[in-house]
Amino acid sequence: MTAAFRRKSLLRIAALLVFAVAGAGCATMIPREVVPERLADEAHLAGMPNIRVWGDASVESFAVLSRTEKPRTDALAATRGRREQQSPEVNILAISGGGDNGAFGAGLLVGWGDAGSRPDFDLVTGVSAGALTAPFVYLGRGRDAELREVFTKYKRSDIYDPGIVSPLLGSGLFDSSPLEHLIAKYVDDRFLREIANERRKGRVLLIGTTNLDAQRPVLWDMGRIAMSGHPQALNLFRKILLASASIPGAFPPVRITVRVEGRTYEELHVDGGVTQQVFVSRPSLAIRDGDPWSKRTATRLFIIRNGKISPEWEAVEAGIFSISRRSISTLIKNQGIGDLYRIYAKAQIDGTDFNLAAIPSEFGVTREELFELRYMQALYDEGYRAGFRGYRWMKGPPGLTRKALHPAPLNPETPALAVSMPD
């Protein structure tokens, strides 16, 4: 990372964030009705029931949600034979956040697709930059060209207005409306119909956000939103993608209107990476009576970490903003590694085949500003080459011994989707 980049990008943002915190007492924003704490678990979106669950919910809560799928199981019968012939495994893909580093994951997935060996994933999850990748991968190779565009065609001004917005005037330092418009460009009525069609086949797409009031992760079943037929379904779908990618403090939080006990309230949702950098849902969300998943006993989990998981040395200047920036980036890196360890530990217990990809430590291209096209193209190309040539997936998170990294054998008695975050 160059000194110029530190000065022009991260240092600038760190300084502004410190200023925002210092001025929070006099900052203003449009008033809202906050969901009372006692009603937080009951808040719902009118006309779209059972489309979300707390990311740290109990297995029982997920089971209640899955039981609402029973009327739709007949729709799975037509695809059951085809799906079972295609693959004896349940394939899960989890994509992390990472900002412009999301170009790596996009390249890896497109290259993997062009090589002809990328499976049709039964479950796809995404957070932040991963949330912008996940819907395209969920829809299959026909959307790969658009996925490539998203991470190689658009520069910083297409993502956010680089002009400073005073924290005294609102709830974010930068205007995220360019990203909002970019999402709307790709996520249209046809896109939503395709998502709904895949959900009816039994495939699941989950996007993670963070509910700031509750200080908890929220998982959104995007396919169920698409299937709802609600006139606001498209708008909500877009808002969730924007919320998952909204870095708190830098971008304004996304307001989501909910109902409870006959009253309307607004929740504030931000980047899902605030609570979890990458996630795999609990099993009950997707397993149903008669679902073809239940007949496939092997589970393969693929995680794409859009960042380097190895330490990155940097000479840090002694100023408060440089120290704060470096500390925050180190915190985020290690939070992500912690998420990988939790998922890996559960995968070992459940006999799930764990596979991890990350930006290689030797990748040395730097950028002068965030969302620099030259940098993103180089990172995309790095991922594409790895995916096309056959990526050598890591069998465990960093720091484990060679013995610990040996993949556990798949257990034929393990229920599908047995990987989960611990209680």
Catalytic residue numbers read 128, 271
d(CA 114, CA 283): 30
Rounded to 5°, the CA angle 66-279-46 comes to 45
Contact indicator for 240, 207 with CB cutoff of 8 Å: yes
**The one-letter amino acid at 278:** V
Question: Which residue from 402, 275, 278, 421 is spatially nearest to 337, judged by alpha carbons?
Answer: 278
Residue 275 CA to residue 30 CA, distance in Å, equals 25
How crowded is residue 120: how many other Cβ atoms within 10 Å of its Cβ?
Answer: 17
Task: Tokens for 130, please give them.
Answer: 């991963």
Residue 266: exposure state from Cβ atoms within 10 A (0-12, 13-18, ≥19): middle
> Phi and psi (nearest 5°) for 304?
-110, 115
- Sign of the CA dihedral running 59, 65, 66, 70: positive
Strands 123-127, 204-211: pairing is parallel
Asked if residue 246 lies in contact with residue 252, where contact means CB atoms within 8 angstroms, the answer is: yes
* φ/ψ (deg, to 5) at 395: -95, 10
**CB hemisphere CA count around 237 (13 angstroms):** 30
Residue 219 has which token pair?
A: 């998982």
- List the structure tokens of 345: 């530990």
